[in-house]
Homo-oligomer: A and B are copies of this chain.
Amino acid sequence: MGRWEPDSRGRLREAALALFAERGFDQTTAAEIAARTGLTERTFFRLFADKREVLFGGSEVLGERIVAAVAEAPDGHTPLGAVAYGLDAAAALLGEGRRDLCAQRHAVIAANPELRERELAKLADYAAGVAGILRQRGVGEMQATLAAEAGMTVLRVAIERWASGGDDRDLGTIMSDAVAELRAVAAGG
């Protein structure tokens, strides 16, 4: 109820992440999250389907952006070169967010096996979507899968490094660097 509150969603998200970090995800209720922001539980459930959506609410948009960017990559790129367009799009989207909230999100997920499995499944879904686009671009089955999966590993590793605070560069730069590291790892015997 009550009138519309500007950025209630952002405030609830911030409070939720702080509570998940303090008490654990399973031990935190929607009512407690709402109470910390001065909002009602009803407002929480108007803005989020459940507690999990605080953590995974942006996942579909992210996946769509990545897949669309790979689909629109100019011709003439290697499979990993095309995937890099998707990683740039992900960096542009996520890089607008706050590092500290991203770090909290990752810590909460890492501490809870069920959430961790959910996160891995999301990344696998992105990889399947990207691999499908690569096949449409004429890449063979195995190379498409390997390029897509390796790309999603780069995504995860780069985000973790960015969120950890141990690397001051922006997410796009860290992402490009991770792609270069992947190339270096795979080169040679």
Interface residues of A in 159-189 (CB under 8 A from B): 161, 177-178, 181-189
Binds B, one of A23-31, A44-52, A54-62, A148-156: A148-156
B188 touches A78 (CB 8 A): yes
Interface status of A70 (Cβ within 8 A of chain B): no
Residues 109-129 of chain A: 1 if any B CB is under 8 Å from the residue's CB, otherwise 0?
000010011101100100000
Main SS of chain A's interface residues? Answer: helix
Q: Which residues of B contact A188 (CB under 8 A)?
A: 78, 80-81
Q: Which of B113, B116, B189 contacts A81 (CB 8 A)?
A: B189
Q: Could you tell me the distance in whole angstroms from the C-beta of A60 to the nearest C-beta in chain B? A: 16
Say whether, besides A146-B153, A150-B153, A178-B146, A186 and B183 are in contact (CB < 8 Å): yes
Size bracket, chain A contacts: 35 or more
Contacts of A147 in B (CB 8 A): 185
- A156 vs B186: C-alpha distance in the bound complex, in angstroms? 17
B146 close to A154 (CB less than 8 A): yes
Closest to A183 in B: B186
- In this assembly, does A3 line the interface, its C-beta being within 8 Å of a C-beta of chain B? no
A79 contacts partner chain B, Cβ-Cβ < 8 Å: yes
User: Which B residues are in CB contact (< 8 Å) with A183?
Assistant: 186-187
- By the criterion CB–CB under 8 Å, are A142 and B121 in contact? no
One of B80, B121, B142, B156 near A120 (C-beta < 8 A)? B121
